[in-house]
Structure 1
Amino acid sequence: MIVEHFLKWVDTARVNERAAAAGALARAFIQNELPFEDRCAAEAALTLLLDDPSSKVRLAIAEALSMSRHAPLQIISALAADQPEVAALVLVRSPLLTDGDLIEHVATGSGATQRLIAGRPSVSMAVSAAIAEIGEAEACVALVANTGADIASLSFRRMAERHGDLAHVREALIADARLPSDCRHMLLVKVGEALKRSPLVAALMGSVRADRVMRDACIKASLTLIEGTRPGEYAALIEHLRLRGDLTCGFLIRIIAHGKVDFFGVTLVALTGQAESRVRTLLAGGNDVALSALFRGAGLAAVTHPVILRALKVWREVANGKRTAGAQEVSWLMLKEIGGPSVSGDLAGLVKSIHLEALRENARGHALAIAAA
């Protein structure tokens, strides 16, 4: 009877009165305050009110029902497809919307709808994947900022591929500790490419020098990236570098000069197909002949073997506590292995550049330490 009187009254009531009454009826429904017959009538009335010309009425219903598991599903579904201010409450809050429902709204909704879904308190891996694959940039930023979102490595990769050229997306992705190392490298490369395309950089340096400077900067950034990468992610990062063509002989010489022996070992596993245990054993104590055979299998030119072996022997002594050394000392010994700084050639030039970079880095660190004292 209460609902019957409500339906007769609602046709002549003002908007604010209808909205207040609709909200009260929705709250009574989810709180089980009505007898069974009145609950059925209330559900019918609320369904009818979805056609109310005023969004205030539908908003009042959405506010009352959006967080309830007992709300009528057809009403929640209709409200989720309503105009933005009404749909927002349901899209963000409703526990009744399944992953399938949310993915459909991601696919068919506006960027605002995608952002709302990305900001839900809990976002499943499947919904995150949909946003990563087809969501607008702002939705991806909202997803990454949401600590309640379960995001797969592949989804991070797709966001980096699709929107990594945008500075605010790169910033959000790089700030996320969950971002896989290969995605971090991809974004570092995109930063370098963006700088290289800058008219100011081109005017100051020229295109050829800018290309070389940015390439060197990406290599240095890759070394820093390795330091912050978990060993379990080495294989993914190595595959990414290999596919990009960055896993060069020069890069491998650089990482061994800087003592990244574990990463160097995983790289050799990827390049040779040898068992990880065998490669680890050879790096830890293998003789020069066996190691040279391993290097050949990885495609490293014979001329590079002596400098790599020299560096490896020093790092073994460091690991065994027999010596204290860093990249500066190791690169100098590598340079001496091929005849010293006066020797010319590509390999000598590479090792010399590594040594000079280590000298500059150590000098910079020393100066900062003095300034901070």
Structure 2
Amino acid sequence: MSSLFQLAHRKSREGRAQLYEDVWNLFENDGPTLNDAERSIMTDILRRLSHDVEMTVRRRLAERLAANDDAPPELAAMLANDQIEVAYPILMDSKALRDADLIEIIRHRTLQHQLATAMRSGISTEISDALAATGNEDVVVALLENDSATMSSALMEHLVAESQRVDRYQKPLLRRPDLPKDLAKRMYAWVSAALRNYIIENYRFDPSELDDNVVFAMNDAVRETTGEVESNDPSERLVNKLHAAGQLNIGFALKALRQGEVRLFEFALAKLAELRVELLRRLVYEPGGEAFAMACRSLDMDRQVFLTIFDLTRAARGPLTATHRQERNALQAFYADLDQNDALAVVRRWRQDPDFLSALNQLSATD
């Protein structure tokens, strides 16, 4: 240690740099034989000298230490707390860093330090929790994209719930090999059409497997974004009350339509078919009427009742034309040949995906 103290008296920058490297080499080579007091003194010397040593020197030593699996943890922690240019190789690769050191770095260092830690291989559940606790979307995305990161089931559920609010979480979550199937199925309610297809293809379940809770959750989410929760519309309130009392049926919908209560009819039929009223209106008034026929056939509606409703909805929008008669004749045959199970399968898809035309085309392609 005498040579160490001699070096400590050097005043020049070169002398301090030489001292830094000499202490470093001594620590690295003789670390296992040093006692706790010696290790503490040497770590303190290195920390004090860090400000006087050029970054290129510190960076070179950091790269050397990152490749040494048996490096002293004190040195790894010191360099990991340095500027990110120095800390990066340690944060990414050093196995000498302890979880406690990493958690301190996550809590007290920069965003760049957090991102480097999130990309580290094989991080523990405790580190994942600390990274997620930062609340920084960039850090969470980096964590989710790190397939080797271990996450607790509680954290995974939390991030899945957050993905309803933060779209950026959705794709990396669904691409994680450890995402449970039930959580992927839950996400189906709010992700984009492209990601829904990804879920179906990669998690191997059919859209018909989605339970009513998922469908209702998706419809609730849509209503929240369009301001439809707690509607003040008297027609909707009446339909909801009748449905809750078990008194809502096709006969009521037809009666409302006959009496000119078109809005009441729309809410009633939408409720019976478990579709959003905006989508139901599109089905009812779409040219051709095949989509509307699908919705009615899924309810096992009598063909003559369907044709009557078709006539009344068209008449509500103006005088019936020759085009209406042609559509009606075509629909009469279409409805007779339409299997209720096929219609129900399509309607279930509409409940999950408002792009009903693509679902209808898909069904047609299989005929």
What TM-score do you get using the length of structure 2 for normalisation?
A: 0.51
Q: 1:339 aligns with which of 266, 290, 302?
A: 302
Structure ID, larger Rg: 2
Residue 361 in 1 paired to residue 358 in 2? no
Cα 1:142–1:332 shift into 2, 3 Å: closer
**3-state SS in 2 of match to 1:151:** coil
* Structure 1 counterpart of 2:228: none
Residue 136 in 1 paired to residue 99 in 2? no
Q: 1:26 aligns with which of 21, 24, 27?
A: 24
**1:275-294 aligned within 5 A:** none
Q: Could you give the per-residue CA deviations for residues 153-178 of structure 1, whole angstroms, max 9, x where no partner exists? A: 43233334446555544333333343
Structure-2 separation of matches of 1:46 and 1:100: 18
Alignment-mate amino acid for residue 338 of structure 1: M
Residue 119 in 1 paired to residue 116 in 2? no
* Structure 1 counterpart of 2:85: 85
* Structure 1 counterpart of 2:321: none
Larger deviation, residues 123-132 vs 81-90: 81-90
**Size of the alignment, in residue pairs?**
257
How far 1:51 moved relative to its partner?
A: 1.4
How far 1:88 moved relative to its partner?
A: 2.7
How far 1:303 moved relative to its partner?
A: 6.7
Cα 1:353–1:71 shift into 2, 3 Å: closer
Alignment-mate amino acid for residue 44 of structure 2: T
**1:1-373 aligned within 5 A:** 1-9=2-10, 11-14=11-14, 18-19=16-17, 22-23=20-21, 25-32=23-30, 36=33, 44-52=41-49, 53-54=51-52, 55-56=54-55, 57-68=57-68, 70-162=70-162, 165-181=165-181, 183-184=183-184, 190-191=190-191, 225=199, 228-229=202-203, 335=298, 337-340=300-303, 342=307, 344=309, 351=344, 354=347, 359-364=360-365
Cα 1:58–1:39 shift into 2, 3 Å: farther
Alignment-mate amino acid for residue 48 of structure 1: I
Structure-1 separation of matches of 2:212 and 2:112: 37
Please list every run of 5 or more consecutive structure 1 residues that lacks an aligned counterpart in the other structure.
Answer: 193-216, 248-298, 305-327, 367-373
Q: State the superposition RMSD in angstroms.
A: 5.0
* Structure 1 counterpart of 2:326: none
**3-state SS in 2 of match to 1:31:** helix
Cα 1:240–1:97 shift into 2, 3 Å: farther
How far 1:351 moved relative to its partner?
A: 4.8
Is residue 181–residue 225 contact of structure 1 (8 Å, CA) maintained in 2?
no
Q: Could you give the per-residue CA deviations for residues 268-309 of structure 1, whole angstroms, max 9, x where no partner exists? A: xxxxxxxxxxxxxxxxxxxxxxxxxxxxxxx999979xxxxx
Is residue 141–residue 169 contact of structure 2 (8 Å, CA) maintained in 1?
yes
Cα 1:155–1:224 shift into 2, 3 Å: same
Please list every run of 5 or more consecutive structure 2 residues that lacks an aligned counterpart in the other structure.
Answer: 222-244, 251-290, 311-339, 351-355
Structure-2 separation of matches of 1:188 and 1:236: 9
Structure-1 separation of matches of 2:83 and 2:59: 10
Alignment-mate amino acid for residue 362 of structure 2: E
Alignment-mate amino acid for residue 363 of structure 2: N
Is residue 26–residue 65 contact of structure 1 (8 Å, CA) maintained in 2?
no
* Structure 2 counterpart of 1:283: none
Alignment-mate amino acid for residue 31 of structure 1: N
Q: Could you give the per-residue CA deviations for residues 239-267 of structure 1, whole angstroms, max 9, x where no partner exists? A: 665666669xxxxxxxxxxxxxxxxxxxx
Is residue 131–residue 140 contact of structure 2 (8 Å, CA) maintained in 1?
yes
Structure-2 separation of matches of 1:124 and 1:74: 20
Cα 1:12–1:156 shift into 2, 3 Å: same
**3-state SS in 1 of match to 2:48:** coil
Cα 1:40–1:4 shift into 2, 3 Å: farther
Is residue 3–residue 38 contact of structure 1 (8 Å, CA) maintained in 2?
no
